[in-house]
């Protein structure tokens, strides 16, 4: 099993969700995030005082998948989130030792 | 003939007083949104604290020191009408012939609201760092020693009124609703207090951006609304003069928004909501002394210039190094001075642009300068005495962690779960 985590532009979230559903993903966790990469931040001016806001809003999508589905899910996210501009975000994959479904007590792939 | 109760004017003045009282909670929102989230409650409490202290002392000695028997044209005798007793006259005549009156107690309410907001205005200069107890004592002392005398000098036939020495030809001092008494007075006090109290930790190096701009917009809107009582109410009538003050108040404020936003767009690249809200206040401040004595077209000039001047003036504190946290100086002092002096040019009849010569301009400059010096000296004494006795600053760690929790035992926004440990 793998955990696929994607940090993407907030306005791509709907397309990412649709693409994930198309790839057979049945559940995900979405949370608001903030950060920066090469995009860096932006400046805001309040009564003449300039502030550099280096953290910009992002959305974090987390999906648990079987080993077999990893490539398809990753590519689905990349395809849906991509605009080609700096700030599109990142997707990464880490191994997961075990997963339990709380309602039934199932473990492993059966719990996904 | 016995004077007749003017119910129309009395009703309007009661409503105006209520409008002006609403300005102080409006100011609390305006200021509260501009500070950081960890000190918003303290910022708002400084306004509510001013309401509490001045609301009590006004009926005790505030009215008497403003409108009681004059001591040399400088201040009213506090014991003359102490507690609204003594020689307090319940009948306030509304015309020279003595045919109409309103109850004086209505005027007491109206004037008390002015004293409250003037004290509250100063609080923006010392945001995030002042001891609450010291602020409450300051509020009482400053209202007593700075505000009541200034109100007496300008509005009760004192030194800076048309009954004083500064009447040149047909040009007498004009301060319709409080350019000197309220805005120059509070603006100078803000500058002096910012210098005495000192800079916030991290001023100019750490980010201190406004934490809630919608609150600032709401506060500015309430101030504008309340200002109709402030200015149109100051006509003490329900006639053309009150209508003129109302229209001038709106026109100047609208022009000031445009002026401020134009500066921002050209200088910073964006017309901001904070700029619009600030422009509202700058315009309202500038038109306050002039609302009854300029034409609506003149009001456009008063407002537009105020918006531009104050938009530039708010940056001065970074260059000069004083931490007037919420720009009481840049907005109230600068636009208050401009509004007071603008009458020298734009007062219909006596202003320079109306062929009245330089007399009105000279009068306005003199009363503005006297107001500046008077407020500076009185505030310096009060501020310094409180510094060496009670102390002004909260401990540094309180300033960093947030004054709300340390001083008021509360936080404005819930960021973590809480559990009831004791219910009383």
Query: Taking a C-beta distance cutoff of 8 angstroms, is the pair B190, B329 a contact?
Result: yes
Predicted confidence at residue B186, as pLDDT, reads 98
From B268, B278, B330, residue closest to A45, measured CB to CB = B268
- Burial pattern B374-404, b for ≥16 Cβ within 10 A else e, equals bbbebbbebbeebbeeeebbbeeebbeebbb
A47 pLDDT higher than 80: yes
| Residue found under tokens 């931490």 | B323
Does A48 reach chain B within 8 Å, measured CB to CB? yes
Q: A-B interface: how many C-beta pairs under 8 angstroms?
A: 29
Return the residue of B nearest to A49 by Cα: B315
Q: SS3 of B169, please?
A: coil
Q: What is the mean pLDDT of residues A2-31?
A: 94
Query: Taking a C-beta distance cutoff of 8 angstroms, is the pair B253, B224 a contact?
Result: yes
The per-residue pLDDT of chain A, averaged, comes to 92
Predicted confidence at residue B46, as pLDDT, reads 98
Can you tell me the distance from the alpha carbon of B198 to that of B235, in angstroms, rounded to the nearest whole number? 40
Predicted confidence at residue A112, as pLDDT, reads 87
Q: Which residues of chain B have pLDDT under 50?
A: none
Residue B75's CB is within 10 A of a number of other CB atoms, namely: 23
Q: Which of A43, A46, A55 to mutate to test the interface with B (most CBs of B within 10 A)?
A: A46
Residue A72's CB is within 10 A of a number of other CB atoms, namely: 15
Give one word for B98, left, alpha or beta, with left for phi > 0 and alpha for psi -120 to 50: left
Predicted confidence at residue A54, as pLDDT, reads 81
Predicted confidence at residue A52, as pLDDT, reads 83
Predicted confidence at residue B211, as pLDDT, reads 96
Predicted confidence at residue B1, as pLDDT, reads 77
Q: Is the ipTM of this complex over 0.85?
A: no
Which residues have CB under 8 Å from A65's CB, separation 6+?
Answer: A1, A2, A4, A25, A73, A112
Predicted confidence at residue B417, as pLDDT, reads 59
Going from N- to C-terminal start, the domains of chain A cover 2-111
| DSSP-assigned beta bridge partners for residue A64 | A3
Which residues have CB under 8 Å from B94's CB, separation 6+?
Answer: B6, B9, B100, B101, B102, B236, B237
Q: Which of B33, B207, B260 to mutate to test the interface with A (most CBs of A within 10 A)?
A: B207
Can you tell me the distance from the alpha carbon of B147 to that of B382, in angstroms, rounded to the nearest whole number? 13
Q: How far is B268 from chain A (nearest CA, A)?
A: 7
Predicted confidence at residue B36, as pLDDT, reads 95
Predicted confidence at residue A90, as pLDDT, reads 95
Predicted confidence at residue A43, as pLDDT, reads 85
A46 neighbourhood in chain B, CB within 8 Å: 209-210, 272, 274
Of 1.10.540.10, 1.10.3430.10, 3.30.565.10, 2.60.200.30, the CATH number of B4-406 is 1.10.3430.10
| pLDDT single digits (tens) B155-195 | 999 999 999 999 999 999 999 999 999 999 999 999 999 99
Predicted confidence at residue B415, as pLDDT, reads 64
| CATH T-level assignment (fold) for domain A2-111 | Alpha-Beta Plaits (3.30.70)
Question: Which secondary structure element, helix H or strand E, spans residue B188, and what is its range?
Answer: helix B185-197
Predicted confidence at residue B418, as pLDDT, reads 65
Q: Which of B209, B279, B280, B314 to mutate to test the interface with A (most CBs of A within 10 A)?
A: B209
- B-facing residues of A in 52-71 (CB < 8 A) are none
């Amino acid at each position: 099993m793998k955990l696929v985590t994607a940090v993407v532009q907030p306005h791509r979230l709907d397309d990412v969700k649709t693409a994930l559903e198309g790839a057979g993903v049945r559940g995900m966790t979405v949370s608001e995030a903030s950060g920066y990469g090469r995009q860096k931040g932006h400046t805001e001016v309040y009564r003449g005082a300039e502030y550099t806001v280096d953290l910009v809003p992002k959305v974090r999508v987390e999906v648990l998948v079987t080993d077999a589905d990893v490539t398809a899910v990753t590519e689905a996210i990349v395809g849906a989130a991509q605009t080609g501009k700096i700030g599109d975000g990142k997707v990464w994959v880490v191994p997961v030792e075990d997963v339990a479904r709380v309602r039934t007590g199932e473990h492993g792939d059966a719990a996904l | 003939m016995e004077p007749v109760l003017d119910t129309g004017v009395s009703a309007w003045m009661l409503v105006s007083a209520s409008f002006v009282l609403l300005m102080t909670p409006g100011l609390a929102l305006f200021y509260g949104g501009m500070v950081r989230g960890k000190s918003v409650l303290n910022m708002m409490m400084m306004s509510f604290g001013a309401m509490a202290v001045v609301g009590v002392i006004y009926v005790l000695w505030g009215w008497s020191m403003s409108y009681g028997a004059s001591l040399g044209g400088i201040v009213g005798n506090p014991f003359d009408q102490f507690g609204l007793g003594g020689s307090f006259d319940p009948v306030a005549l509304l015309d020279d012939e003595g045919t109409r009156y309103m109850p004086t107690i209505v005027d007491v309410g109206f004037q008390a609201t002015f004293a409250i907001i003037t004290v509250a205005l100063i609080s923006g200069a010392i945001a995030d760092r002042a001891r609450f107890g010291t602020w409450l004592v300051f509020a009482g002392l400053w209202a007593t020693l700075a505000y009541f005398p200034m109100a007496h000098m300008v509005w009760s036939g004192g030194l800076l009124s048309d009954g004083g020495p500064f009447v040149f030809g047909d040009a007498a001092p004009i301060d319709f609703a409080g350019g000197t008494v309220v805005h120059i007075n509070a603006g100078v006090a803000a500058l002096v207090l910012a210098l005495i109290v000192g800079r916030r930790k991290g001023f100019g190096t750490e980010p201190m951006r406004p934490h809630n701009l919608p609150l600032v917009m709401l506060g500015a809107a309430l101030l504008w609304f309340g200002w109709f009582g402030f200015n149109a109410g100051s006509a003490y009538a329900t006639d053309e003069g009150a209508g003129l003050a109302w229209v001038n108040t709106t026109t100047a404020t609208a022009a000031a928004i445009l002026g401020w936003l134009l500066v921002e767009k050209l200088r910073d690249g964006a017309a901001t909501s904070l700029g619009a809200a600030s422009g509202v206040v700058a315009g309202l401040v500038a038109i306050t002394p002039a609302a009854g004595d300029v034409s609506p077209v003149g009001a456009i000039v008063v407002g537009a210039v105020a918006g531009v001047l104050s938009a530039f003036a708010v940056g001065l504190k970074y260059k000069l190094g004083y931490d007037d946290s919420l720009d009481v100086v840049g907005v109230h002092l600068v636009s208050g001075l401009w509004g007071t002096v603008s009458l020298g040019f734009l007062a219909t009849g006596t202003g320079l642009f109306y062929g009245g010569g330089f007399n009105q301009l000279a009068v306005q400059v003199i009363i503005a300068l006297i107001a500046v010096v008077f407020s500076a000296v009185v505030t310096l004494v009060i501020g310094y005495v409180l510094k060496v006795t009670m102390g002004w600053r909260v401990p540094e760690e309180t300033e960093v962690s947030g004054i709300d929790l340390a001083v008021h035992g509360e936080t404005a926004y819930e960021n973590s779960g809480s559990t009831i440990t004791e219910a009383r």
